[in-house]
């Protein structure tokens, strides 16, 4: 890691800590701790793949990578907009604290589109430069997001009770109709 990558990683880590603290942890939503490791692994993947990002742009791995990255963006934007518009958080910065359970749009099929987008992001970056270290990081990312989702589901059950339990029975965690 060169000095610019180290500065980027350090700055990103500070921002991730601030985000995790203000959006989740200080409000007693401890899934933000597990999500921190997902964000960190994605950041490390990006730093490691930076010099390979645009090499052989039309190779099969690069094409697959861009498909994952585009689906990641789509899933993140659509999921966030649905969460904010349908979930009715009190303020935009409290988007995790919805007052209404969102079960429309992509939330009809998957409970965690924002975490799904992070899994897709990690996979897309992983395909930019496959190595043992990047494989370990993409596995950490996926496991951290699974743990994050499970922790958040416990929080959602406390907040929405049986309504959320019923929703869990008719939707998948990350991948529609599969998982």
pTM reported for the whole predicted model: 0.91
CA 66 – CA 71 distance, rounded (Å)? 8
Per-residue pLDDT of the chain (179 residues; tens, 9 = 90+): 788 889 999 999 999 999 898 888 888 888 889 999 999 999 999 999 999 998 888 899 999 999 999 999 999 999 999 999 999 887 766 777 888 999 999 999 999 999 999 999 999 999 999 999 999 999 999 999 999 999 999 999 999 999 999 999 999 999 888 86
SS3 161: coil
CATH 1.20.120 is held by the domain 3-170: yes
Domain residue extents for the chain: 3-170
Distant-in-sequence contacts of 149-157, Cβ < 8 A, 24+ apart? 149/31, 149/111, 149/112, 149/115, 149/173, 149/174, 151/30, 151/31, 151/34, 152/29, 152/31, 152/112, 153/111, 155/29, 155/31, 156/101
């Amino acid at each position: 890691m060169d000095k610019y990558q180290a500065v980027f990683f350090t700055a990103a880590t500070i921002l991730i800590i601030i985000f995790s603290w203000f959006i989740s942890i200080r409000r007693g939503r401890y899934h933000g701790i597990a999500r921190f490791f997902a964000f960190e692994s994605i950041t490390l993947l990006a730093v490691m793949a930076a010099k390979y990002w645009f090499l052989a742009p039309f190779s099969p791995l690069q094409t697959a990578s861009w498909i994952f990255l585009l689906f990641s963006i789509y899933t993140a934007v659509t999921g966030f907009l649905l969460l904010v518009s349908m979930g009715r958080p009190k303020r935009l910065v409290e988007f995790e604290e919805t007052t209404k359970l969102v079960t429309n749009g992509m939330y009809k099929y998957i409970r965690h589109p924002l975490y799904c987008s992070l899994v897709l992001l990690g996979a897309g970056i992983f395909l930019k430069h496959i190595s043992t270290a990047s494989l370990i990081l993409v596995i950490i990312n996926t496991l951290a997001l699974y743990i994050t989702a499970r922790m958040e589901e416990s929080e959602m059950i406390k907040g929405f009770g049986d309504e959320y339990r019923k929703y869990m029975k008719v939707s998948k965690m990350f991948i529609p109709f599969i998982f």
